[in-house]
Amino acid sequence: MKQYKTVPVLGVLMLLFAPHIYAQHTEKVEPSSLEEIWKVAEMNNRQLKLSDLNLQQSKIEILEAKDRLLPELSVGGDLKLNSKFLIYDNGLFSSPQDVPVKGYGYGVGYNLNYNLYNGGKDKRNVAMKKEEETRKQYEVDLQKHSVKYNVAVAYFDLYKFLHFYDFLNAEIEAEKKQLRLIESLHKNGTVLKSDVLRTSVKLSQLELNLSDVTKKIEIAKQRLNILMGRENDMGLAIKYEDTIELNAITDGDYNDYVDIAFNKSPEYKMAGSDIKWSELNVKQVKATLLPKVSLYSNYNYNYPQISFYPYSNDFWGFGQTGIKVQYSIDNLYKSKHTIARAKVVSNQAKEKAEMKKHEIALQIKEVYLQQQQALESVETAEQNIIKTTETVRVIRSSYLNQESLLTDLLEAENALLEAKFNLTTAQTNVKVTHIRLLAIVGIL
């Protein structure tokens, strides 16, 4: 936040609108913690709702696959008009014999088919659908971690900007008092007119920065509301005045997080699920080389009897029950490339799982180091605040005694304000990187 070193004078005008833009900052809304916002997001976030619907769909697909294990049973009937029944017993060009049959006919009956064996394809299809459901569950878990991380980013953005607002607001009040003091000194001829102008310019820049932070607060609130599945303009307040606890974050090292990730990470589990599904798919394709055995039964009532000799105009019934064996010889050469492709897909899934393993380890390393860097930044920022606070005190005293320049005082005040910004930013970065780390390893 170094913009306040050079500024347009229009910043004063923009500040006039800040109270209206920042109305929600003073609304009486019960402040929520990050954990409370997470709970609301888990219930109402639209991405999570969509993931749950996809999971429900996969559960139904399992039931559909199980339905295919049941026997096929159908009933049917027909009603028809019969033509003359002509028999050419002496050839097509001879005079035919006209067999007397009714001019209409009808029939009713059932047909049953039950698969006894088809290489285990139907049962394996159920297993594949179950594996797909397992993968969808991992996707839901991954989406939950992603939403919680995005909520945390928006939450700590809001946390940071609210603190910036308070810092700027307090700095503006202090600068107004300082301006009044410098104007009084100028009237007494103690300081130059340029000191009054420099202080006024700094005050204008602070007010412009306050207006900018106000807008960022509103954007962060809207983003949080969207992630929580609420209306954009709903009132929202957070417990930003609570101190960020950083002690527990230092626990655990890189190797610990990697070990947890390979047992808990939804992304890594998804890669493992893809391997299992591809192996089942290879077996499914190979099953086309096996015979199919089924039990069948049918029975029909018909009128008239014109299917067998001697023909009759009487009502008749006929049925069959037996076992049917089929073997597709063409699959011996047609399935060759299909099986080869399924094996390639299975090998691809294994390679992707190894790649995902290295990718997760690299992500953990990167975020872990970012967390360590953020912790170091916190320590540095705390030390800088102590030093710059003392610097401001000394320079302010010497300026009032006309022993230093106003520019030195303004630079020291800017450095102190920037140190406060840096400390808050570093603290939020520690929390955000820690939450990101937990999301990657799958324990957020």
CATH of the domain at 128: 1.20.1600.10
Answer yes or no: do 239 and 369 share one domain.
yes
Answer yes or no: do 160 and 309 share one domain.
no
More reliable by pLDDT, 245 or 182: 182
CA-CA-CA-CA dihedral for 384, 385, 389, 395, to nearest 10: 30
Nearest 5°: phi and psi at 247? -65, -45
Lookup: tokens for 18: 């800040």
More reliable by pLDDT, 246 or 339: 339
What is the structure's pLDDT at 21? 41
Answer yes or no: do 178 and 311 share one domain.
no
Asked, for residue 386, whether it belongs to a domain, the answer is yes
Asked, for residue 23, whether it belongs to a domain, the answer is no
pLDDT tens, position by position, 54-105: 999 999 999 999 999 999 999 999 998 888 878 787 877 778 877 777 888 8
Mean pLDDT of 177-187: 86
d(CA 39, CA 371): 25
The rounded percent of the chain whose pLDDT value lies above 70 is: 93
Answer yes or no: do 319 and 246 share one domain.
no
Indicate if the pLDDT at residue 10 is higher than 70.
Answer: no
Answer yes or no: do 239 and 373 share one domain.
yes
pLDDT tens, position by position, 387-412: 999 999 999 888 888 878 888 889 99
Domain count, the chain: 2
d(CA 189, CA 245): 50
What is the structure's pLDDT at 185? 84
pLDDT confidence band for 250 (50 / 70 / 90): low
pLDDT tens, position by position, 218-240: 999 999 999 999 888 888 898 88
Asked, for residue 18, whether it belongs to a domain, the answer is no
Asked, for residue 59, whether it belongs to a domain, the answer is yes
Indicate if the pLDDT at residue 249 is higher than 80.
Answer: no
What is the structure's pLDDT at 25? 45
Q: What angle do CA 204, 411, 428 make, to 5 degrees?
A: 80
pLDDT confidence band for 273 (50 / 70 / 90): very high
Answer yes or no: do 102 and 222 share one domain.
no
Answer yes or no: do 151 and 59 share one domain.
yes
pLDDT tens, position by position, 34-51: 999 999 999 999 999 999
Indicate if the pLDDT at residue 33 is higher than 70.
Answer: yes
What is the structure's pLDDT at 251? 67
pLDDT tens, position by position, 289-338: 999 999 999 999 988 887 777 777 888 888 999 999 999 898 888 889 99
Average pLDDT, the chain: 87
Answer yes or no: do 239 and 101 share one domain.
no
Q: Beta strand 97-99 with 72-81: parallel, antiparallel or unpaired?
A: unpaired
Asked, for residue 264, whether it belongs to a domain, the answer is yes
Answer yes or no: do 271 and 368 share one domain.
yes
Question: Does residue 111 sit in helix, strand or coil?
Answer: strand
What is the structure's pLDDT at 137? 95
CA 380, distance to chain mean position in Å, is: 35
Asked, for residue 21, whether it belongs to a domain, the answer is no
Answer yes or no: do 195 and 145 share one domain.
yes
pLDDT tens, position by position, 113-161: 999 999 899 999 999 999 999 999 999 999 999 999 999 999 999 999 9
Strand partners, 115: 294
pLDDT confidence band for 247 (50 / 70 / 90): low
Answer yes or no: do 222 and 242 share one domain.
yes
Domain that holds residue 182: 34-70+119-291+327-441
- Name residue, tokens 């390639």: 344
Nearest Cα residue to 141 out of 253, 41, 270, 274: 270
The rounded percent of the chain whose pLDDT value lies above 90 is: 64
More reliable by pLDDT, 25 or 218: 218
d(CA 191, CA 402): 8
Angle between the N-to-C axes of helices 46-67 and 34-44, in degrees from 0 to 180, rounded to the nearest 10: 40
Q: In the chain, count of helices (H) and strands (E)?
A: 10, 6
Residues 6+ apart with CB under 8 A from 45: 147, 227, 228, 229
143 near 51, Cβ under 8 Å?
yes
Asked, for residue 16, whether it belongs to a domain, the answer is no
Last residue of a domain, one of 272, 303, 326: 326
What is the structure's pLDDT at 12? 36
**Prediction pTM value:** 0.82
What is the structure's pLDDT at 4? 37
Answer yes or no: do 251 and 185 share one domain.
yes
